[in-house]
């Protein structure tokens, strides 16, 4: 098998349909064109550079058609693509490079400064240039095409090594096999209702492979997606409108921006998936008002298993919203696919850490770094500790309560923060422990709901900041380590 096999099916069934497009008329590649070009690039890498099965190749190419052509080329020849999360910063990237020990690296011109900063990059024996000519590099023939079939591999053959951003700890390496990615794609296709022929606006790169497998056209929008909370909403909306994109999966910060774009209600979006960070009732109401013709769905998952649970906004009742805004946590929905979930109790009410197991759960991290803290091995079963606190309600739905290690005063963050966010003067909120007391930090001015938390004794005091720091990747999760440093906690 090979996870690229599905591409050949769509190249035959719908050869001229766009697989990826940047602009519907001037910058696109069809399924048939992607099949030929990825085969040609794969042959070039194998014949000119000696890259083959099991070889790790660091990929330093920005989001675009070239990136996915290159990934497919590597998968076709059995090589392992290595990607580092940009949210990890320069230090995290250089650490990933040292740990992965790649045989080759493919670089875009924008990546050249990294070779000056990282000795590990300069030690990689095979350096390949994509779109430029430079001493010490072999220049990839971007025009290469072929009709060679992908190599047949064992389902457990490695395909993709990624390094997490480290937003909830030190960066970890996650190795995914061909079989793992195929199964993940099938679950995502079912959970997200993917239908061949739809156009999906890509903001989360992980979904591109599932789109390809399902026969969707992937729009690579003409917008800078590196900082979702600062994305040019008008420019993004224009890309969506021009391409006729009917679906999008994105972080809460990006969708909040998009909802503010002029004419958002007239966009062709019919399916909106939001995840990667807590989804508060305030955002759900905004999305419902801004995209009245779209079905909005919350998706909960992680780098180690995607998705874990999901819920449609139409399934969230007024009672659910009241529960979220009165300290009950955030509704994540029903468990996806055949995952097993357990929640060992940490409190008398049954709340505890969410742990998951199943075939599409990453069984261990690269080189075992991080396994001791997050993997529980019981016979042949591996339970992954998500680090998220949660509970099940009487209907079997999963509710999220926040990070286990971020609780204070006997409460978890998502039992406090959604209450404060009822105040329109509060932009963001974070529960922290200071000097042994639960303290609520707010970005903005406390209102009645926020002050009520102090009056009820849920928090000892309220501290206002002009800005609460957030994670680099999604711009939506509170960066608690940075926040505590800002508050003087060492």
| pLDDT at residue 169 greater than cutoff 60 | no
| pLDDT at residue 25 greater than cutoff 70 | no
pLDDT tier, 420 (very low <50, low <70, confident <90, very high otherwise): very high
pLDDT tens-digit readout, 294-328: 999 999 999 899 899 999 999 999 999 999 999 99
- The span from the CA of 221 to the CA of 129, in Å, is 24
pLDDT tier, 93 (very low <50, low <70, confident <90, very high otherwise): confident
Whole-number pLDDT of residue 91: 78
pLDDT tier, 490 (very low <50, low <70, confident <90, very high otherwise): low
Q: In what order do the strands lie in the sheet with 461-465?
A: 426-434, 437-444, 461-465
| pLDDT at residue 214 greater than cutoff 60 | yes
Whole-number pLDDT of residue 84: 82
- Contacts with 208 (C-beta within 8 Å, 6 or more apart), sequence order: 20, 68, 202, 218
Cα-based torsion angle of the residue sequence 113, 119, 122, 124 in order, rounded to the nearest 10 degrees: -130
Locate the DSSP E strands across 320-425: 330-335, 340-342, 352-357, 375-378, 381-392, 398-403
**Alpha-carbon torsion (181, 184, 190, 193), positive or negative:** negative
**Alpha-carbon torsion (83, 218, 303, 51), positive or negative:** negative
Q: What is the pTM of this model?
A: 0.94
| pLDDT at residue 165 greater than cutoff 70 | no
Mean pLDDT of 85-113: 85
| pLDDT at residue 483 greater than cutoff 60 | yes
| pLDDT at residue 85 greater than cutoff 80 | no
Q: What is the DSSP letter of 148?
A: P
In this structure, the strands spanning 330-335 and 398-403 are antiparallel
pLDDT tier, 472 (very low <50, low <70, confident <90, very high otherwise): confident
| pLDDT at residue 166 greater than cutoff 70 | no
- The span from the CA of 325 to the CA of 429, in Å, is 13
Residue 439 in contact with residue 465, Cβ under 8 Å? no
Whole-number pLDDT of residue 455: 97
- The span from the CA of 382 to the CA of 303, in Å, is 16
Nearest Cα neighbor of 342 from 355, 358, 360, 357 is 355
| pLDDT at residue 354 greater than cutoff 60 | yes
**Domains, the chain, with CATH or none:** 5-183 (3.40.50.12780), 410-486 (3.30.300.30)
| pLDDT at residue 168 greater than cutoff 60 | no
Mean pLDDT of 192-196: 93
Report the share of the chain in percent with pLDDT over 90: 86
How far separated are the first and last CA of the chain, in Å rounded? Answer: 51
Backbone angles phi, psi at 129, to 5 degrees: -95, 135
Of 221-235, 285-299, 407-421, 438-452, minimum mean pLDDT range: 221-235
Higher pLDDT, 318 or 167: 318
| pLDDT at residue 489 greater than cutoff 90 | no
Summary mean pLDDT of the chain: 94
Mean pLDDT of 336-344: 94
Q: What is the CA radius of gyration of the chain?
A: 23
Cα-based torsion angle of the residue sequence 173, 179, 185, 188 in order, rounded to the nearest 10 degrees: -80
Mean pLDDT of 191-202: 94
Mean pLDDT of 4-19: 94
């Amino acid at each position: 098998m090979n996870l690229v096999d599905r591409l050949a099916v769509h190249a035959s069934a719908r050869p001229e349909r766009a697989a990826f497009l940047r602009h519907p008329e001037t910058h696109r590649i069809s399924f048939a064109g992607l099949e030929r070009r990825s085969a040609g690039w794969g042959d070039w890498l194998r014949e000119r550079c000696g890259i083959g099965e099991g070889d790790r190749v660091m990929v330093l190419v920005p989001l675009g058609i070239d990136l996915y052509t290159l990934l497919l080329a590597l998968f076709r020849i059995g090589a392992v693509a290595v990607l580092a999360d940009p949210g990890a910063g320069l230090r995290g990237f250089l650490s990933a490079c040292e740990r992965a020990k790649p045989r080759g690296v493919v670089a875009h011109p924008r990546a050249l400064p990294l070779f000056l900063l990282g000795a590990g990059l300069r030690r990689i024996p095979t350096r390949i240039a994509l779109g430029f000519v430079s001493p010490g590099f072999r220049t990839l023939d971007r025009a290469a095409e072929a009709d060679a079939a992908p190599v047949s591999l064992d389902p457990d053959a490695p395909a993709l090594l990624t390094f997490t951003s480290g937003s909830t700890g030190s960066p970890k390496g996650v190795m995914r096999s061909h079989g793992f990615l195929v199964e993940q794609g099938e679950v995502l296709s079912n959970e997200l209702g993917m239908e061949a022929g739809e156009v999906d606006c890509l903001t989360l790169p992980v979904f591109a492979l599932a789109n390809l497998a399902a026969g969707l056209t992937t729009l690579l929008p003409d917008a800078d997606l590196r900082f979702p909370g600062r994305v040019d909403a008008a420019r993004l909306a224009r890309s969506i409108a021009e391409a006729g994109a009917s679906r999008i999966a994105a972080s809460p910060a990006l969708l909040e921006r998009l909802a503010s774009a002029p004419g958002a209600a007239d966009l062709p979006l019919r399916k909106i998936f939001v995840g990667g960070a807590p989804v508060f009732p305030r955002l759900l109401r905004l999305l419902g008002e801004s995209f009245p013709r779209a079905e909005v769905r919350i998706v909960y998952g992680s780098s180690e298993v995607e998705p874990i649970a999901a819920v449609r906004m139409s399934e969230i009742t007024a009672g659910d919203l009241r529960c979220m805004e009165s300290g009950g946590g955030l509704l994540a929905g029903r468990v996806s696919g055949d995952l097993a979930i357990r929640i060992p109790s940490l409190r008398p009410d049954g709340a505890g850490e969410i742990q998951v197991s199943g075939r599409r759960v990453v069984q261990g991290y690269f080189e075992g770094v991080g396994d001791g803290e997050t993997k529980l091995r019981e016979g042949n079963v591996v339970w992954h500790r998500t680090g998220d606190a949660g509970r099940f309600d009487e209907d079997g739905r999963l509710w999220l309560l926040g990070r286990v290690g971020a609780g204070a005063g006997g409460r978890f963050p998502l039992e406090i923060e959604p209450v404060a966010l009822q105040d329109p003067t509060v932009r963001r909120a974070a529960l922290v422990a200071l000097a042994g007391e639960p303290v609520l930090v707010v970005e903005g001015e406390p209102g009645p709901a926020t002050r009520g938390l102090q009056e009820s004794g849920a928090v000892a005091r309220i501290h206002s900041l002009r800005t609460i720091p957030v994670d680099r990747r999604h711009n939506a999760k509170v960066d608690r380590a940075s926040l505590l440093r800002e508050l003087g906690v060492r």
